[in-house]
Amino acid sequence: MKIFNIRYIKLHFNLNITVSSEWPENKVSALRGGMGEMLLRMHCVRSRECENCDFNPDCLVRQMMYSQMKIQPTFMTEGDSAGYVIECEDYSDYFESGDELMFNLLLFGRNIAFFGLYLQAFQYLGMSGIGKDKSKFIVSEVTNSKGKIIFDGTMVHMNALETMSIREYVDYRCKKINGTARLMFHTPLTLKYNSEFLKKFDIEAIMRAIERRVYILNCFEGNDTGRIDLNGHIPLLTDSDVKQSSVSRYSSTHQKVMTFRGIKGYADIEEIDQYAKELLAAGELIHIGKNTSFGFGKYTIMSGGE
């Protein structure tokens, strides 16, 4: 399927904590919010009055934080983002000076060209401090998915960036998926289907969310692929375990605490044909549902006794 001809890179950031401090349990929200704040400090020239800004079409912050679509899906709102995802599964709430923290930054399509500015934003965030305790850190290393060093703490090695395609990831993962699988959701899935947010796993809703996300990323790239007909390709849900989950964060844009809700747990499925297998593999990489830029909608496919 040509729908997977979407460029991406997965960057592994290694942070060295320089001051002993408390950190929020959910670090993606703090990292994403801090990154946005640093980008605004560095690049905003109109006092953050985005709606009436005459530089709006050329604003680097808007291009990096909010997707500037080449093809605009009718269902997508202006505030949605498809260009990046932050991942962090370290839920420690206290770090000593000298401890390390790792997180991932996925960049899709045209946002890959802004890598240097994302790196700079996290470097400035480390100097400014993150969270209520202004926890400080330095970016000690950034590597790609193959372990090659892109940033060694001093120099950037752009030849190690190595842009990949989702097609490559799908081909690799499909070799490890058979006719049955367990989708293990590590972060909350916030997904609206038939006008209601899911309170239990619905495999058709999940499959259609993957297809929708793939379509959005193609629109972001400017690939006129159209939508995929999933009829006849929905696996069978055989078992599941669901836990309600929520994450609270302070939004400087709305100047209030906002709570994101979703479901975690696992869904066991079978009767997975090749069509569904490839979509499920893609969804594992790109995240699905709402709030993907905050790391929501991340699952792992466990198959064949994993």
Give residue-wise pLDDT tens across range 132-145.
Answer: 788 999 999 999 99
Buried b (16+ CB within 10 A) or exposed e, 161-179: beebebbebbeebbeebee
Q: Lowest mean pLDDT of 30-34, 53-57, 204-208, 229-233, name the range.
A: 53-57
Rounded Cα–Cα distance for residues 114 and 242 (Å): 38
pLDDT > 90: percent of the chain: 74
User: Quick one: pLDDT at residue 275?
Assistant: 94
Q: Chain centroid to CA 231: how far? A: 27
Burial readout 110-133 (b: 16 or more C-beta within 10 A, e: otherwise) = bbbebbebbbbbbebbbeebbbee
pLDDT digits (tens, 9 = 90+) for 20-78: 999 988 899 899 989 999 999 999 988 888 878 888 888 899 889 887 889 989 888 76
The answer, yes or no, to whether residue 299 has pLDDT greater than 90, is yes
Phi and psi torsions of 32, nearest 5°: -65, -45
CA atoms of 101 and 24, how far apart (whole Å):
13
pLDDT > 70 fraction of the chain, expressed in percent and rounded: 95
Position 305 confidence tier, pLDDT thresholds 50, 70, 90: very low
Q: Give the bridge partners for 156, in sequence order.
A: 151
Confidence of residue 131 (pLDDT cuts 50, 70, 90): confident
Q: Are 11 and 144 in contact (CB under 8 A)?
A: yes
DSSP for the chain, please give it: -GGG--EEEEEEEEEEE-S-EE--S-HHHHHHHHHHHHHHHHH--STT-GGG-TTGGG-HHHHHHS---SS--TT--TT---SEEEE-----SEE-TT-EEEEEEEEEGGGGGGHHHHHHHHHHHHHH-BTTTTB-EEEEEEE-TT--EEE-SS-B-GGG---EEHHHHHHHHHTT--SEEEEEEEEEE--EETTEE-SS--HHHHHHHHHHHHHHHHHHHT--------TT-PPEEEEEEEEEEEEEEEETTTTEEEEEEEEEEEEEEE---HHHHHHHHHHHHH--SS-GGGT-S-EEEE-S--
Mean pLDDT across the chain: 91
Report the C-alpha gap between 68 and 73 in whole angstroms.
Answer: 11
The distance from CA 29 to its chain's CA centroid, rounded to whole angstroms, is 11
What is the pLDDT at residue 24?
A: 86
Distance of CA 168 to the CA centre of its chain: 18
- Least Cα distance to 143 among 12, 299, 245 occurs for 12
CA pair distance 292, 85, nearest whole angstrom: 6
- The token duo for 224 is 């006129």
**Of 9-23, 35-49, 85-99, 238-252, which range is least confident?**
238-252
Which residue in the block uniquely carries the two structure tokens 């959910």? 26
